[in-house]
Structure 1
Amino acid sequence: MKKSIFYCCVIFCIMVSQAYSQKKEQYLGNCTAYSVKGNKVVFSCANNSKIMLQLCSGEVVKIWASADGNFVRNNESFAVIEEDLGWKGNVTVKEEPSTYEIFTEQLRIRVNKAPFQLQIFDKYQKLLFSDYAEKGFVNDNGKIRTNKVLRNDEQFFGLGEKSGNLNRRGSAYKMWNSDQPCYGVNEDPLYKSIPFFMSSYRYGIFFDNTYKTEFKFGSESNDYYSFEAPAGQMVYYFMFGNDYKEIIQNYIALTGKPIMPPKWALGFSQCRGDYTREDQAREIAAEFRKRKIPCDIIYQDIGWTEGLQDFDWRKNNYNNPKGMVKDLSDMGFKMIVSQDPVISQANQQQWKEADALGHLVKDVRTGKSYDMPWPWGGNCGVVDFTKPEVADWWGSYQQKPLNDGVRGFWTDMGEPAWSNEDAVDRLNMKHHLGMHNEIHNVYGFTWDKVVTEQFYKHNPNKRIFQMTRAAYAGLQRYTFGWSGDSGNGSNVLDGWKQMANQIPVGLSAGMGLIPFWTCDISGYCGDIKDYDAMAELYVRWLQFGVFTPLSRAHHEGGNAVEPWKFGTEAENISRKSIELKYKLFPYLYTYAREAHDTGLPIMRALLLEYPNDKETFKLNGQFLVGKELLVAPVVEQGAVTKDVYLPEGEWIDFNNCKTKYKGEQWITVDAPLNTIPVFVKKGSIIPQMPVMQYIDEKKVYPVTFDIFPGNLNKETSFTFYEDDGESRDYERDVFCKTKITSKASNEEIKITVGEREYKGYSPAGPRNFILKIHASNKPKDVFAGGEKLKNVKPHVLEKNIEADFTKINWSWNEAENVISVRIPDSGKNAVITIKN
């Protein structure tokens, strides 16, 4: 009997508990009224809850659901800097018995009243986005969630720098900046939190919540997907676009344009964990120049500084640091140094200063500076970059190496390090702007903001180079990115999957507005004990890495990854790969400007250019560089062929410029160790420069335009962009552009060099253009305007190309099927007619 009573009590308690559990989940319930103020509509629902729709533009809608009806948040958005995106006037709400409707030129927004359900259609009445039943907003005792209808064919892309497949459908992800050395190919979370994604149904969502948000793209149900947060506000932005590129442009309208790096940042750079000595830096620089391997940047890792983080050169390691930096600069090298966001307690003078000024994050339990274990330098204090007074203090310190000639920083360990999900003690950190659970994901962001703004303050009108590991949405306004500690720490030779994973990581980073990105070429992790055995992996990693915008070779500790360490064959292949990057600089820099203007990454997923080709949704192993070049790196050990998907159009093997393939098919191409599968689309123009040992080794040089004429009577064009490459004048649109067009008919090919568009910048001096037209047959004649040009041998055409700016002639290369036309760059309109 007693047992029966006991079991009944247990069952009763469970039932009460379940009832209570269900009761504490609050939905919006029925919608009973609305009010309009300017571009905002507030809908009143059950239990005093409210939801606000704010029309930022006809395509962008801010959605804010509040359980208590108050639209208040602890901090204003860290990411969003502009909500006025063009909407004019008040919002008009049309009320029907069961719905409210709002119309823009692009959207039809419907609110179902009972219960509240938000739906957004395009102007053709196609459903784009919908709450899942009544669960469009769920408040579970402060934990907030929204559930959205999931269509059978809906796919998702984005969330910034994440591992795994490019397509997020069927997976779940967390936002919690985490120090994950040697991370796996599906490991999550990683270093950056960018809660922005795009749907194949032509919309994007930015969930503007800095807590540990989670996204579940059908991992729990085939009927709905969700995003949620343990605290904070349910604030998100809906962005419509006819394609992914338009969605990205709406996102940067909200969060800001990417800054452009100095042009030398698009060269090659070399690093190593123990790059911390003057003699070593000089030796490495000399070796690059001796071996004629192009290189622009040499990094110094965190051991360069005397103490964390006093920005003083380590006395025993650097005898004449200012002289070292100048000597390297004379050789064309730029030096970048690391900084960490902490002050070591062993660095007593600076520690006492920071502690006394209250510049360190506090321990909420004691009110004292938080005692943070750090991977090196002993226990540290975490600098509170959310405190306004810290900025000038930090800026004065970081200016010291800049005054010595250092050109920028890489901000490392900004998660802050060792503050992963399991490090719950870190949640006791109190920042000026809030507790750590709110600030964690934006901590690195606030640091990068200070670093950049202080750089600008102390170095007016100079571009910053800053590359970061930990970040939040909006980072593109202040910094560039790299993917952290990749590679296989257990067995460096088994790092092939980690290398392959860097391709979708980089493509996703680009769609999260990190257009200037790199990974650690060679993989950061793992001891290299057999350089001959490592050579193949190194070469293949570098062949991929030269097509990332900020190509950097880096490895942990004393594991050297300079190209010559891996043997003569690897060195020669690496040199050729790096030289290709330098030749393509005019092309890459033009797309760097496009990245600033539009947010579109240089290294881009094929779905950005071919959104209607469903095959592109699953392409994790290849990418576009700009629009015209398709790169398919070899990422399998021992492979000498590569399977490549070519989208619509006709594609030409860029390695020989003669082999052609039809698009919309998979092909298998030869890819021995010395070959990077690269393809150029028919109807493209690719500007190139001569190989240099560093960017601007020669201020003036001939520019070659490789022209691959399009189909008959279809115009091909490329607008070549130039600016000074160092100042911030580009932000004021100081530049020049030259448009090259090509149009082919049965009788002729007409090439037009357009009159240069001057916007306050001119090329540094006179130069020649070389138009290289890839054709099938030798032409009959070539004319400039109405004047017939002289046909010369190819070597004659190249003679004095950098000194003589008077000759206009042409040549035919039988082996390559190339017509070359040499003309001086006058800045004026010039028409070249090639008669077939």
Structure 2
Amino acid sequence: MKFNDGFWLLKEGVKAYYGLQVTQVKPEKDGYALQVATKPIRHRGDTLGGIVRIHSPTEGVVGVRIGHFKTFKPCPEIPLFPDAPAMPNFDLEKSESGYTLTTGGLTAEITENPYTVTFNSCLAQDFSSNPHPETPPQTVRYIHSELNTSPGELIYGLGEQFGAFVKNGQSVSIWNRDGGTSSEQAYKCVPFYMTNRGYGVFINHPGEVEVEVGSEKVSRVGVSVAGESLEYFLIYGETPLEILERYTRMTGRPALLPTWTFGLWLSTSFLTNYDTETVSGFLQGMQDRNCPVRVFHLDCFWMKQYEWCSFTFDPDNFPDPKAYLSDIKKRYGVKICVWINPYISQLSPTFQEGVEGGYFIKRKDGTPWQWDLWQPGLAIVDFTNPTAQKWYLDKLDSLINLGVDTFKTDFGERIPHAGVVYHDGSDPMRMHNYYATLYNELVFDLLKRRFGAGEAVVFARSAHAGGQRYGNHYKIAHWGGDCESTFEAMTETLRGGLSLTLSGFAFSSHDIGGFEGRPPPEVYRRWVAFGLFSSHSRLHGSHSYRVPWEYGEEAAQDMAKFVDTKHRLMPYLYNLAIQANQSGSPVQRAMFIEFLSDRTTHYLDRQYMFGPSLLVAPVFVPLGEELEYYLPAGLWTSFFHPERTIQGPAWVKEEMAIEEIPVWVRSGTILCLGPKNIGRPDYDLHKRLEVRLYELRDGQRAQCQVPSGKGAEIAGIVTATRNADEINVKLEGSADLAAISLYSKGYRVQGVDGGVAQGDDYIEVFDGKKEIVIRLKNV
């Protein structure tokens, strides 16, 4: 929300009351309560002002809560510290200049006259609240706060935003809408941003939050909410990962996902044919081409048109859905996912049940709220109503009985907020974004009850702050919504994913090939490579199928290579998933997360780190044009062509063959791979490992964990130490080695103690050896 006309003037009709002077300070158990006057206090007759609380709920975090009118507790609120107690750790001190609160390397300094709050001596804070109580009723009151930005400071995050990756200069509304990936609207808006200057800001408000990122006052981030209170937390961290650790400590860690979710998902697509012969032909064709599908998804038209959601298989196309699902599960070893949403068409046989039961969001006159945007006269289920929850879940329960394993929870973004009433009395403005949390959590809890926490998975589109978690349970990554089938849409998708994973989410998925239209074969093949180097990989479209042979048999050969590569990478990927669950670190990472001291990385949004060790640069240019990407300092080894190394920092410009994608391995990496052609992502991840060692320097010691694939269990630890002309490789735990590969520039294998050398850079390990000594020779 912009209140100013330029820098000096206010817009017509705006009257601001700025926090000018602290008139009272009260120490509290977690900080200070301040009485702040909005005009100079010369005598008692001048007393007027709001309440500000400066507090620290946990180490390294300072909260600022600004209040105007004291009202009843708003509903809903974002749950904080859902998995662990807050455990505040701070010091309060009064000084000559004012008051300080210090926690985890972060200090908030408060001066009384003039009133300021300064964080680490670099960020100034003030607030303005709206007019006096006698303001006419039609006037909207806002709380507004600003934080200074320093020269060169960049802002990132705010959920899955598809526009420019660096948010400076943008007006961002934290207000979920389903506008596609080519607009300023977003499906997953999160009131959290991170800077490249060692802190993040979480605005603790579930309703609409309007953020002006240098777009009103060019050196400030302005935040405003309609209402009487605003709370934000400034979260300090020496690294971006430490900031995310502290933020997800507050809002919940990303959920740990079962291994099968990391396999290939294949959809029927939206408007295409779903009959048994077509579906079986696709699954068989994928199997024949060594592109095994792990999850098969039936999109909207498993139900009759105009009847979404009836939760009933269309009898014209699926006369015996239980037998149909059982057959493809048995023959192809797939999990079954079906599309649902919380909207009920008035032509659905379930609509009258909802009306009679009072299960829908209502207008103020007690009638169901309806509109025609997605289905005729649709209503929306009121998930604050316990009986409506049970009714909705009973419908889904019957689908599980038919053989459904998981649900794609579509929609949940464009929820009504004007003139509506919720069963529990929730504020509709605050419920608009929070509805996604209720919706997805409700469906997840059913799956957890039916399948257990280790197998329960939801594939969701909408989310808000905290949507990355449900306790320490399982929940799949969100996908990026409706995108076009173009190179431009690929880049939008990546920007959205990187912004999302800078907002507390660990995983990111998207429609491989694009959703709208039919992608040209070149776009499809490039997107397949990008999609299979994403945490979760789904083939899905609108009017056309996304099976690879529709785009040429060469596309199927590419896919087979990348699917097998992802399966082999599962020991590495699943270890990243465990780390995400334990510390909030994302799998797909913006470059500056790993290379903060390299200012070039702060602007990069067409490449990313896949965990700490792999750099991926998807190809967004047509054949014949040069791809350009950046390798930070260090020696990088090509994953697919290890004979090729590049010393960074370096910009690389090259034409890329259609079957290739640049993937580079960071020096000093131990990369554990599973067996070739294993055909699925859910296997014993700690067995028959190939351990790859990349450019170990003399005196360097590297280590990596090996997960078993069963929850957070770590089955082994691989340690490699180089001393002069020897590398010692040691394996602890129940994991076992099949081979060691040496990727190095300047030395090769001369001899081995504990294994048999099979060449200059490959060692086959026999008899369950746990320790191998490799003697090196210079070349």
What's the TM-score, normalizing by structure 2? 0.90
Residue 715 of structure 1, CA deviation: 1.1
1:389-419, Cα deviation, whole Å (9 max, x unpaired) = 3333322221222222222111112113xx6
What is the distance in 2 between the residues matched to 1:83 and 1:720? 26
| Cα 1:118–1:426 shift into 2, 3 Å | closer
Residue 666 of structure 1, CA deviation: 1.0
1:702 maps to 688
SS in 2 for 1:110: strand
What does 1:187-202 correspond to in 2, within 5 Å?
187-202=183-198
Residue 45 in 1 paired to residue 41 in 2?
no
Residue 356 of structure 1, CA deviation: 2.3
| Cα 1:628–1:773 shift into 2, 3 Å | same
What does 1:444-593 correspond to in 2, within 5 Å?
444-478=436-470, 479=475, 480-487=477-484, 492=485, 495-526=486-517, 528=518, 534-557=520-543, 559-593=544-578
Residue 316 of structure 1, CA deviation: 1.5
| Cα 1:825–1:236 shift into 2, 3 Å | farther
Contact 1:332/1:694 (CA < 8 Å) preserved in 2?
A: no
1:327 maps to 327
Among candidates 757, 763, 773, match of residue 810 of structure 1: 757
| Cα 1:659–1:19 shift into 2, 3 Å | closer
Residue 782 in 1 paired to residue 752 in 2?
yes
Q: How large is the Cα RMSD of the aligned pairs? A: 2.5
Residue 383 of structure 1, CA deviation: 0.3
Residue 95 of structure 1, CA deviation: 4.9
1:511-544, Cα deviation, whole Å (9 max, x unpaired) = 1222222111111112x3xx7xx11010011111
Residue 205 of structure 1, CA deviation: 0.6
Residue 355 of structure 1, CA deviation: 1.9
SS in 2 for 1:427: coil
SS in 2 for 1:500: helix
| Cα 1:700–1:403 shift into 2, 3 Å | farther
Residue 78 of structure 1, CA deviation: 4.5
2:640 maps to 655
1:111-169, Cα deviation, whole Å (9 max, x unpaired) = 11123211111xxxxx24221xxx43433651121111121111111112001222112
What does 1:412-431 correspond to in 2, within 5 Å?
412-416=410-414, 427-431=418-422
Residue 408 in 1 paired to residue 409 in 2?
no
Residue 430 of structure 1, CA deviation: 2.2
What does 1:701-780 correspond to in 2, within 5 Å?
702-724=688-710, 730=711, 735-756=713-734, 768-775=737-744, 776=746, 778-780=748-750
Contact 2:98/2:112 (CA < 8 Å) preserved in 1?
A: yes
What does 1:604-683 correspond to in 2, within 5 Å?
604-639=589-624, 641-683=626-668
1:795 maps to none
What is the distance in 2 between the residues matched to 1:84 and 1:64? 20
Residue 256 of structure 1, CA deviation: 0.8
1:145 maps to 144
| Cα 1:314–1:130 shift into 2, 3 Å | same
Contact 1:156/1:217 (CA < 8 Å) preserved in 2?
A: yes
2:161 maps to 162
What is the distance in 2 between the residues matched to 1:114 and 1:82? 40
**Counterpart residue type for residue 161 of structure 1:** E
Contact 2:289/2:556 (CA < 8 Å) preserved in 1?
A: no
Contact 2:623/2:655 (CA < 8 Å) preserved in 1?
A: no
| Cα 1:604–1:651 shift into 2, 3 Å | same
SS in 2 for 1:153: coil
Residue 243 of structure 1, CA deviation: 1.1
**Counterpart residue type for residue 239 of structure 1:** I
What is the distance in 2 between the residues matched to 1:74 and 1:699? 44
**Counterpart residue type for residue 223 of structure 2:** F
Among candidates 271, 284, 287, match of residue 285 of structure 2: 287
**Counterpart residue type for residue 225 of structure 1:** V
**Counterpart residue type for residue 668 of structure 1:** K
| Cα 1:426–1:225 shift into 2, 3 Å | closer
SS in 1 for 2:227: coil
| Cα 1:657–1:821 shift into 2, 3 Å | same
What is the distance in 1 between the residues matched to 2:34 and 2:591? 40
What is the distance in 1 between the residues matched to 2:553 and 2:506? 34
Residue 326 of structure 1, CA deviation: 2.6
| Cα 1:265–1:242 shift into 2, 3 Å | same
Q: Name which of structure 1's ranges 306-315 and 45-54 shifts more when overlaid on structure 2.
A: 306-315
Contact 2:57/2:63 (CA < 8 Å) preserved in 1?
A: yes
Residue 228 in 1 paired to residue 224 in 2?
yes
| Cα 1:618–1:396 shift into 2, 3 Å | same
Contact 2:753/2:773 (CA < 8 Å) preserved in 1?
A: yes
Contact 2:298/2:338 (CA < 8 Å) preserved in 1?
A: yes
SS in 1 for 2:32: strand
**Counterpart residue type for residue 660 of structure 2:** T
| Cα 1:389–1:191 shift into 2, 3 Å | same
2:4 maps to none
What is the distance in 2 between the residues matched to 1:382 and 1:374? 12
| Cα 1:53–1:825 shift into 2, 3 Å | farther
Contact 1:137/1:147 (CA < 8 Å) preserved in 2?
A: no
Contact 2:160/2:497 (CA < 8 Å) preserved in 1?
A: yes
SS in 1 for 2:418: helix
SS in 2 for 1:226: strand
**Counterpart residue type for residue 211 of structure 1:** G
Contact 1:118/1:136 (CA < 8 Å) preserved in 2?
A: no
Contact 1:372/1:381 (CA < 8 Å) preserved in 2?
A: yes
| Cα 1:832–1:316 shift into 2, 3 Å | farther
1:339 maps to 340
SS in 1 for 2:247: helix
What is the distance in 2 between the residues matched to 1:105 and 1:695? 40
What is the distance in 1 between the residues matched to 2:266 and 2:452? 28
What does 1:228-247 correspond to in 2, within 5 Å?
228-231=224-227, 233-247=229-243
1:699-745, Cα deviation, whole Å (9 max, x unpaired) = 99622112114111111221111232xxxxx3xx5x13311122223
What is the distance in 2 between the residues matched to 1:297 and 1:460? 18
What is the distance in 1 between the residues matched to 2:671 and 2:171? 40
Among candidates 215, 227, 242, match of residue 211 of structure 2: 215
1:282-320, Cα deviation, whole Å (9 max, x unpaired) = 222111112221221111112213543342222122233
1:800 maps to none
Contact 1:642/1:677 (CA < 8 Å) preserved in 2?
A: no
Residue 628 of structure 1, CA deviation: 0.8
Contact 1:517/1:550 (CA < 8 Å) preserved in 2?
A: yes
Contact 1:79/1:208 (CA < 8 Å) preserved in 2?
A: no
Among candidates 765, 773, 778, match of residue 832 of structure 1: 773
Residue 664 of structure 1, CA deviation: 1.7
1:433-483, Cα deviation, whole Å (9 max, x unpaired) = 434322111222210111112222333334222121121111111442111
- The answer for unaligned runs of 5 or more in structure 1 is 1-16, 122-126, 420-424, 725-729, 757-762, 790-808
What is the distance in 2 between the residues matched to 1:662 and 1:328? 49
What is the distance in 1 between the residues matched to 2:686 and 2:398? 33
What is the distance in 2 between the residues matched to 1:482 and 1:635? 20
What does 1:58-97 correspond to in 2, within 5 Å?
58-68=59-69, 72-78=73-79, 81=82, 84-87=85-88, 92-96=92-96
What is the distance in 1 between the residues matched to 2:12 and 2:93? 37
**Counterpart residue type for residue 757 of structure 2:** W
| Cα 1:825–1:372 shift into 2, 3 Å | farther
Residue 53 of structure 1, CA deviation: 1.9
**Counterpart residue type for residue 486 of structure 1:** C
1:182-213, Cα deviation, whole Å (9 max, x unpaired) = x42xx212111111001122111111222221
